[in-house]
Structure 1
Amino acid sequence: MTANDLLTAKVTVDLSMSIADIRDGLAVRALDMLDQVRATMLEPYPRKHPPTFTAANIATLCGFDKQRMKYITTKLGLPTGTQSGPGRAKIFTLEETLTWIHAAGPRCKRPAGVRGRVVAFANFKGGVAKTSTSVSVAQKLTLLGRKVLLIDADPQGSATQLCGYAPDAEIADTDTLLPLIYGDEASLQYAVKETYWKNLDLIAACNTLQDAEYAIPSHILQDTRFEFWNIVRNGLQPLLEAYDVVIIDTPPALSYLTTNVLMAADAIIMPLPPEALDFASSTQFWQMFSEIAGRLPNAEGKRYDFVNIFMTKVRPFDASKGVQGWIRKAYGDHVFPLHVPDSKVQAAALGALSTVYDGKRLDVDADAETRMTGEQYERLKAPLDSLSEFIDDQFQRIWSQPVEVAA
């Protein structure tokens, strides 16, 4: 049958649907299919497992020569790893690796009494690698020795999926930001969950989180002095002593929820593919956010530690390079110097609910197009490593200041 025959056949099928048809038919079938896929292919919590590391990996993360490991192991009483087989290298768990990083890593600890910092990943558009970037950065920050909280503020729950939980199947309304937004809770401590990744905790999302866009205006109608933009900020404050960094993945819209996150943040990172429409959308985002924030009391006094544009899905095409030029001219020093290349391998890995840090090679299937070589792995990981190190460097600078900068 030709493509035209298929199109003709499809036209003759009644594709009309009512809201009830969508709710009871399309949505149910799609969710059932997702459950089948997860059961046979994917690794939801608790079956998702953290990666393992070699002695060479640990030496690189800690910034010393591998030959020194035996001496440091004896001196500090650090984990020795597990023999993976006769004549094979020892393997270290993520928890053992983090023990090494905390004991022997090169980075300064956050001083006592100085709060953690909050980074928002934001963009109007969907499909810009916002979620994969935010989760990857959260994972890498733990490998720099940080205790990290990831907040999924997107009702789609993609960050929640990447952290090993199934939104809607494993996540209830009470596990999300909603009780805080409703006013039932004053602190977000109630929603914190551990994940399969040591030192990376999660506040999850599910699709009912979209109710925030109705609940917040309802608060405003009841009390015109209600500071709707400070809900997330106020709920986060009690947690900032326990975490070095809080990463927040926002919905692809400049909504009440996104505005809350941006006002709670100490820094903003915008993942941005170098495509003409994405660039145009980014300019509207900053204009609209500044206009909204400009109408909020005392917002003019707010300063961000940094604002960065991080180019993602970069293709080696002339058109892409042209838009890269527009982005660099428009945003100047705010453009991060490294970018993430467009990759079939990364797309396939995300299809298996994995990030570049979940496995050394991310061999998600046997297809040669999606099998990752060492060179491809490093090319994907290097910009994310650098972005995470940049974030940590900036926060170390803030933490070292004698008087803490206000949010």
Structure 2
Amino acid sequence: MNAIVNHIGELAEAGERMIERLRRKAFLPESRKGLNVRFGIAEAAQLLSCSTNRIRMAEDDGRLPAAPAGKNGRRLGYSVEEMLQMREVLGASPARAPLDIPAIIAVQNFKGGVGKSTVTCHLAHYFAVQGYRVLVVDCDSQATTTTLFGFNPHFNITREETLYPYLSIDPTQADLLYAVKSTPWPNVDLIPSNLELFDVEYELAAAGSDGQSVLAARFRKLKQGLADLARNYDVVLLDPPPALGTISLAVMQAANALLVPLAATTPDFCSTVQFLSMMDQVLQQLARAGIEVEYSFLRLICSKFDGNDPSHAMVRTIMEQSFGPALLPVPILESAEISHAAMRMMTIYELERPIGTPKTHKRCRANLDEAMGQIEQLVRQGWGRVEPACEEDVLYAA
């Protein structure tokens, strides 16, 4: 190989070292990602759909411990663990009923740069804040989602900790339990990825004339493995590669719902139309091969939307005219707060305090809550649930 080709490897190694430096700077001294976010009593009451008085009464009668106080005597707020305990004590858990089918949502688009991994991580943390049990499965060998959860795919994750031992031509694992890792969120688990997961694509491509049957077997295997694992969760989020390959096809078949993020630009719109057309053809081919795919919902969500950009508004109008109700009405707004959080390998839901101005942070958080809440409503509709009324509304109506 010539010097320029050799230089590619050197650039990759330099980049990996920098990622590790950023990770060590962003996380705890022992290079573990922490979670220090806390909720004040008013926000806790809103999340639990109850009054602040009800929380205080539960603390007074000993059913709940009081929120810890700082040196100045002021309450520090409730941790995520304490919020989960409060949900149990106050009967405010949103968990699905035993007979409800877990939502297995693929967040997919073959167009890169649409915020697929960012949407996946924010959606996972939104569901976590709401009290759901969440599993995130990083199926992309680029491993952006794995990185955002605090793991360095190059230094911290081996091939044996990814989906590879389960999906390879010569599997060494019979189920997916081996790959599940805890995250800083007590109700969110992760199956990580790294670059070596791409070996699955090579192996199946080299399967020769028997490749079709091997491929079909891998599709069914991933679907079964995720279905078995999903029994312990309410929501499973799948982050597949941004390309049409073996793993992407397996993810499409394993999911029971599909979320397609797309940015408000003409190239993204055109690319997404091509993605939908290609997906339609592939799903028809899978059906002819006896591999059925069924989704409880399919929605597109506009990401990185700048309301002050006339071109974004124009493209969004085109999306609305083209996709109708399949396009979720609330887009994810472009925000410097999201970008700044990503630099710290975090989501908005993990920030202890605003990075920019409090106004910018509040606007960004409110938009994400509303946008992510649309998907939550679709999940709950699939379970046949009606959202409980707020306690104050019930009292007012009486």
TM-score calculated relative to the size of structure 1: 0.86
Please tell me the root mean square deviation across aligned C-alpha atoms, in Å. 2.3
Describe how 1:176-191 pairs up with structure 2 within 5 A.
176-182=162-168, 183-191=171-179
1:36 matched to 2:25: no
- 1:112 pairs with 2:98: yes
Alignment partner for residue 349 of structure 1, among 341, 350, 368? 341
AA partner of residue 39 (structure 1): R
Structure 1 unaligned blocks of 5 or more = 1-15, 364-370, 402-407
Cα offsets for 1:337-390 (capped at 9, x unmatched) = 111221222212101101010014342xxxxxxx132x3223222333234333
Would you say the 8 A contact 1:149–1:247 is kept in 2? yes
SS of 1:91's partner is coil
Q: Deviations over 1:79-117 (max 9, x none)?
A: 322102324224222111121133336464322244422
Map residues 216-235 of structure 1 onto 2, 5 A cutoff: 216-219=204-207, 221-222=209-210, 224-226=212-214, 227=216, 228-235=218-225
CA distance in 2, matches of 1:303, 1:40: 44
Give the 4+ runs in structure 1 shifted more than 4 A. Answer: 41-45, 105-108, 298-301
Q: Which amino acid in the other structure matches residue 118 of structure 1?
A: I
Alpha carbons of structure 1 residues 65 and 282: separation in structure 2 relative to 1, 3 Å: same
1:313 aligned residue: 304
Change (3 A) 1:224 1:159: closer
Which residue matches 1:57? 43
Q: Distance in 1 between matches of 2:259 and 2:230?
A: 19
Structure 1 position 55, deviation (Å): 1.5
Give the 3 Å change call, closer, same or farther, for CA 128–372 of structure 1 in structure 2: farther
Which residue matches 2:394? none
Cα shift at 1:170: 0.4
Q: Find the counterpart in structure 1 of residue 201 from structure 2.
A: 213
In 2: Cα distance, 1:205 partner to 1:160 partner: 6
CA distance in 2, matches of 1:60, 1:252: 37
Aligned equivalent of 1:376, options 349, 356, 360: 360
Match of 1:175 among 121, 144, 161: 161
Written as runs of structure 1 = structure 2, the 5 A alignment for 1:8-407 is 17-23=3-9, 25-41=10-26, 46-74=32-60, 77-104=63-90, 106=92, 108-182=94-168, 183-219=171-207, 221-222=209-210, 224-226=212-214, 227=216, 228-297=218-287, 302-315=293-306, 316-363=308-355, 371-373=356-358, 375-400=359-384
Matches of 1:126 and 1:105, distance apart in 2: 42
Deviation at 1:245, TM superposition (A): 0.7
Deviation at 1:41, TM superposition (A): 4.2
CA–CA separation in structure 1 for the residues paired with 2:339 and 2:57: 42
Using a 3 Å threshold, how does the CA distance of structure 1 residues 42 and 233 change in structure 2: closer, same or farther? same
What SS does structure 1 have at the residue aligned with 2:349?
A: coil
- Secondary structure at the aligned position of 2:298 is classed as strand
- Give the 3-state SS of the residue equivalent to 2:237 in structure 1: strand
Between 254-263 and 97-106, the greater mean CA deviation after superposition: 97-106
> Residues 80 and 158 from structure 1, CA distance in 2 versus in 1: closer, same or farther, beyond 3 angstroms?
same
Asked if 2 retains the 8 angstrom alpha-carbon contact of 1:61 and 1:101, the reply is no
SS at structure 2 position matched to 1:295: helix
**Percentage of matched positions with identical amino acids:** 27
Q: Indicate the SS of the match to 1:271.
A: strand
Quote how far apart the aligned CAs of 1:231 are: 3.4
On the 8 A contact 1:151/1:203 being kept in 2, the answer is yes
Report the residue type matching 1:131 in the other structure. Answer: S
Question: Residue deviations 1:196-224, cap 9 Å, x none?
Answer: 11110000011111212112334464454
Q: Aligned equivalents of 2:24 and 2:268: distance in 1?
A: 35
Q: Which runs of 5+ in 2 are unaligned?
A: 386-398
Q: 3-state DSSP class of the match of 1:333?
A: helix
Task: Check 1:204–1:331 CA distance in 2 against 1; reply closer, same or farther (3 A cut).
Answer: same
**1:152–1:205 Cα contact (<8 Å) kept:** yes
For 1:54 and 1:84, locate their aligned partners in 2 and report how far apart those are by CA, in whole Å: 13
Q: Distance in 1 between matches of 2:96 and 2:259?
A: 22
Normalised TM-score (structure 2):
0.88
Aligned letter for 1:390? Q
Between the aligned partners of 1:76 and 1:381, the Cα distance in structure 2 is 33
Residue 156 of structure 1 deviates from its aligned partner by 1.3
For these two proteins, the number of residue pairs brought into alignment is 377
Q: 2-side partners of 1:243 and 1:297: how far apart?
A: 28
